[in-house]
A and B are shown apart, each in its own frame.
Chain A
Amino acid sequence: MQSSVLRPGFVQVRVLDMEKAIAHYRDIMGLDLVGIESDGRAYLRAYDEFDRHSVVLRETDTTGLDIMAFKMVSPEALLAARKALEARDVKCEVVEAGEQPGVGERLRVYMPTGHVFDFYTQMDLSDIGPMTENPEIWREEPRGMRIVRFDHCALLGEDIDASAKLLIECFGFSIAERGLDPDGNNMAIFLSCSNKAHDVAFLKAPLEGKLHHVSFLLESWHDIGNAADLMARRDVKIDIGPTRHGITRGQTIYFFDPSGNRNETFAGGYSFYPDNPERVWTADQYPKGLFYYEREVVESFVSVFT
């Protein structure tokens, strides 16, 4: 089935210290700061994104994920999804247009894994988005880690099958890849609404609504090296990498923002089509699925989250 969702549009993350967060996301990672609004939230974007923002930071005394939001193809598709959710008694509510600058009305969905997902169809275009007439490769040279776009999130919760089922049945997502436990139950589910190997992943844990990582696309393996150099130079805490995933085949490095939220920058990965057969990692080979070169589970990677 073709999905009615275009892509993950933005993520809103809680941080402990806005000044340090901006130094990380803007100055080291190289995102553009679009603005800071009167409620204190900071809005950022990557150079190759047309829409006005893709990362929202909110300063408070906790960390983790506020919202993962998806842009849909049309208001009709959003309405159809809403009806499908209501038929399943899923808790939904409307977030009014303008709650974030430049963003239209959003449908807020409370996912079985405890995450808040928003779905919307309208966001203003960025004034400094990619060029469209005689388009140069970029308007201004990318800074910092040279992030192309916000790409996906990996999220932790108990009932990952239920969250995946909602995305599949109400929004037309497909499962690209799964990791299994020894009894054949899903430990990890990678879902796509696009040509990407994943747009969101659910990882099974005895937790509610937790964030494993927010991921950003880089152009190449070489850019991952550049990102790693920057992390070393600027004392960013690296979790693991540079390395490669077996799952999705992405080349990757994981690190933490100054509030302890895990970020990923990655490149590569296969193209996905919704008619592709599912790829599965059995329990005995699953560590290789996580980290293809190490072929071992990395303790912090499976025990540390916000």
Chain B
Amino acid sequence: MSSVDKPKYQINILKTDIEFGCREDQSILHGMGQAGRKGIPSGCHGGGCGVCKIKITAGTYVSGKMNRDVITEEEEASGYKLACKVEPRSDIALEVIGKMRRSYFGA
């Protein structure tokens, strides 16, 4: 089966009208980018920087290892994730938590 045939789940960003499809072999953040949508801040795509933090309120998924400096075990246990390290296994509803915080050198 080529990747174009793979099932697409719908990702819904709560409190916005942003919705996009995401395959199960790609992260929610990557899926959003491929769909040409914005809403979740996009950074390193490696679970390191933390800007893509979300709270998943509905749906099932698998997730990878994330930098403990930006997401604690307790946060993870209560549904907080990094969107670049989550692949959907059903339709997903989520809230955006992360922000792009400019440092002074980028004033």
Contact = CB atoms under 8 A, between A and B. Distances in A.
Given A61-B68, A64-B69, A260-B67, A206 B46 contact: no
Nearest to B33: A237
A205 interface: yes
10 contacts: A61-B65, A63-B47, A63-B67, A262-B44, A286-B107, A297-B106, A300-B51, A303-B102, A304-B44, A306-B49
Interface in A173-194: 179, 181-182, 187-188
A17 B44 contact: no
Contact of A306 (B45, B48, B100, B103): B48
Interface residues on B, range: 20 to 34
A260 B104 CA distance: 21
Given A61-B68, A63-B47, A237-B44, 4 more contacts: A187-B107, A256-B45, A257-B46, A286-B107
Contact of B48 (A179, A203, A205, A259): A259
Interface of B: 41-49, 51, 64-69, 84, 100-107
The 4 A-B pairs at the shortest CB distance, nearest first, are namely A260-B48, A302-B106, A205-B103, A260-B46
Q: Is the interface of B mostly helix, strand, loop or mixed?
A: loop
Interface of A: 16-17, 61-64, 156, 179, 181-182, 187-188, 203-207, 237, 239, 256-262, 283, 286, 297, 299-306
A187 B106 CA distance: 8
A187 B101 CA distance: 16
A235 B42 CA distance: 16
